[in-house]
Amino acid sequence: MLNKKTFLMLAMAAGVVAAPAVHAQGFGGGLGSIGKSALSGAESGVESQGASMASSMLPSLSSASTGNLAGILGYCVQNNVLQQSSSTAQSVLGSLTQQPGVTSSSAYEAGQRGLLQTGNNQMFSLANLKGELKTKLCSMVLDKAQSAL
Domain that holds residue 82: 58-145
CA distance 28 to 129: 40
Note the pLDDT of residue 57: 81
* 63: in domain: yes
Q: Compute the average pLDDT of residues 60-84.
A: 95
* 5: in domain: no
CA distance 70 to 148: 10
Three-class SS of 46-115:
HHHHHHHHHHHCCCCCCCCCHHHHHHHHHHHHHCCCCHHHHHHHHHHHHHHHCCCCCCCCHHHHHHHCCE
Q: Per-residue pLDDT tens for 109-139?
A: 999 999 999 999 999 999 989 999 999 999 9
The secondary structure of residue 25, as a DSSP letter, is H
* 3: in domain: no
CA-wise closest residue to 42 among 67, 15, 3, 8: 15
pLDDT band at 7 (very low <50, low <70, confident <90, very high): very low
Q: Per-residue pLDDT tens for 22-53?
A: 444 444 455 555 555 544 554 444 444 444 55
Note the pLDDT of residue 36: 52
Calculate the average pLDDT of the chain: 78
* 137: in domain: yes
* 23: in domain: no
Structurally, how many domains does the chain consist of?
A: 1
* 70: in domain: yes
pLDDT band at 19 (very low <50, low <70, confident <90, very high): very low
* 10: in domain: no
> How many alpha carbons lie under 13 Å from residue 65 in its C-beta half-sphere?
21
Helix (H, G, I), strand (E, B) or coil at 26: coil
* 15: in domain: no
